[in-house]
A and B are shown apart, each in its own frame.
Chain A
Amino acid sequence: MAVNPLIKLIECVGRPITMFWHTFINFSEELGRIMLLLYSALKQLILPPFEVKNTLKQIIEIGIKSMPVVLITAVFTGMVLALQSYTGFKRFNAEALVGTVVALSITRELGPVLTGLIVAGRAGAAMAAELGTMRVTEQIDALETLATNPVKYLIVPRFIAGLIMLPSLTVMADIIGIIGGYFVTVGLLGANSTGYWKRTWDYLETSDIYNGLIKACFFGATIAIISCYKGFYTQGGAEGVGKATTGAVVLSSMTILISDYFLSAWLFK
């Protein structure tokens, strides 16, 4: 039987529209649930008792244990940035500006973003996997039956740790990145040391640093709440934990990269 071409046309047009609509609805639903969890976490954050011990533990997990990876990334990023800038700028005799380029790129952009992506991959994945496993093995239910609010006990400490440790790690990444750039420019390529620092300080403004840190705070909070959300609402055993972990890293990383543009446009006018 011949299919009516009009029906076929409607089907062809309608299918992608329906798919887009379903994706939009799912995205809105997920965003809404993340916002509700954030609201619940912020409410629990200001109410006593305060989870000091748990928060310190998370500061170590998220911050201190991420430090080696963040610092190695930062130093090599500073080094490659200096190397590429130096060889590029040499073509029009602007090698003296390498220090400025490294400092501005690291503090405004690469420091917070790379730190965010590393923490999302390392600590975000760990948060989602741990909470996901706790969910599927009924440990979160057990907390509830022991009269303990799981949002307060599990999510608030991770949220605070993310909020504090991302900017702290970013400060370290900024310093180490700039030192890496200095090492390549001055130590390996033979540029003048005084000139390197002078150009760095002349053009680097305080706002470059603190606006970068504002971004880092946002990224820290985002990674924590997204990863906790993915873990907290895990369903379906080991496969569910795997999906939650992947989902946490992908969603956190995407959010960091997309929000980075809008934050930069807003902060660095």
Chain B
Amino acid sequence: MIELIDLHKSFGGNYVLRGASLKVEKGESMVVIGGSGSGKSVLIKHIIGTLKPEKGSVLIDGVNIATMSENELYETRKRFGMLFQMAALFDSMKVWENVAFALMRHGKLTENDAKKIAIEKLRMVGLAGVENLMPSELSGGMKKRVGLARAIAHEPEILLYDEPTTGLDPIMADAINDLIIEMKQKLSVTSVAITHDMHSAYKIADRIAMLYEGRIIETGTPDEIKKSDNAVVRQFITGSAVGPIKIEGVTA
């Protein structure tokens, strides 16, 4: 359903992606792992088309979104939902207006109907009675839940998660992991998450892909990744400072 083929992307001459290729099947939950600055966010932005590759293709159901016109791209994005690292809630809107944003804009629903759906989606993510609050009145975990409710409000086919557990305490992080699994089961969506939280990756992934030096160097089920012989993968999943992965800005 989602296929990235030989993606290349650079910023100011600095190559972030150097031929990244990845295939995500329909209904699958793919987690892309990699260190800070490895290009995970750049990769996910290519999937939703907010960045265009210099070379390569991004196929969604066989259609290359990298060559789409602006209008076609916006139409395609209606099939996506995305949860941002810091939730990225619109701070000038109430919680329910955030959740109902896409419904009111594209669904042509009345304000009342959209609000009812927003409240229902907020309940799905375990929040009740917060619909009339402003985002600034919510805790970090609540913001993530609202962000998730906004991502699923228009019932997308593909869900993207950008570091879903970063910045949360372990209990809240686990609750978000449970929600991601619940969303997959209830909504049968295809999902791609990027994270460096291995606990989260093992829990939510059907398959895990490791991004290193701009390429996907290994793909496999959580069990296969745990047993990987690849030194880079081993260093990353065990969280060791010693190994082939050099820490950016730190000299040996």
A residues contacting B by CB (< 8 A) are 133-134, 137-139, 141-142, 144-149
Tell me whether B50 is interfacial, beta carbon within 8 Å: yes
Knowing A138-B84, A139-B91 are in contact, say whether A146-B50 is a contact too (CB < 8 A). Answer: no
- CB pairs A–B below 8 angstroms (28 shown): A133-B91, A134-B90, A137-B86, A137-B88, A138-B84, A139-B88, A139-B89, A139-B90, A141-B84, A141-B88, A142-B82, A142-B89, A142-B90, A144-B50, A144-B77, A145-B82, A145-B160, A146-B101, A146-B102, A146-B105, A146-B150, A147-B74, A147-B75, A147-B77, A147-B78, A147-B106, A148-B101, A148-B102
The smallest beta-carbon distance between A164 and chain B, in angstroms, is 21
Residues of B close to A147: CB separation below 8 A: 74-75, 77-78, 102, 105-106
Tell me whether B212 is interfacial, beta carbon within 8 Å: no
Q: How far is the CA of A142 from the CA of B99 in the complex (A)?
A: 12
* CB-CB contacts below 8 Å: B120-174 with A: 150, 160
Tell me whether B48 is interfacial, beta carbon within 8 Å: yes
Q: How far is the CA of A169 from the CA of B77 in the complex (A)?
A: 40
Residues of A close to B102: CB separation below 8 A: 146-148
Residues of B close to A134: CB separation below 8 A: 90
Tell me whether B96 is interfacial, beta carbon within 8 Å: no
The answer to whether B50 and A142 touch across the interface, beta carbons within 8 angstroms, is no
Tell me whether B219 is interfacial, beta carbon within 8 Å: no
Tell me whether B236 is interfacial, beta carbon within 8 Å: no
The smallest beta-carbon distance between A45 and chain B, in angstroms, is 15
Tell me whether B221 is interfacial, beta carbon within 8 Å: no
| Chain B residue at smallest Cβ distance from A133 | B91
Q: 0/1 per residue, B220-233, Cβ < 8 Å to A?
A: 00000000000000
| Chain B residue at smallest Cβ distance from A147 | B77
The smallest beta-carbon distance between B81 and chain A, in angstroms, is 8
Q: 0/1 per residue, B39-71, Cβ < 8 Å to A?
A: 000000100101000000000000000000010
| Chain B residue at smallest Cβ distance from A49 | B105
9 nearest A-B pairs in the assembled complex, by CB-CB distance: A138-B88, A142-B88, A147-B77, A145-B82, A147-B78, A146-B102, A147-B74, A138-B84, A144-B50
Tell me whether B188 is interfacial, beta carbon within 8 Å: no
Q: How far is the CA of A233 from the CA of B45 in the complex (A)?
A: 17
The answer to whether A145 and B48 touch across the interface, beta carbons within 8 angstroms, is yes
Residues of B close to A139: CB separation below 8 A: 88-91
Tell me whether B38 is interfacial, beta carbon within 8 Å: no
Q: How far is the CA of A137 from the CA of B143 in the complex (A)?
A: 13
Residues of A close to B86: CB separation below 8 A: 137-138
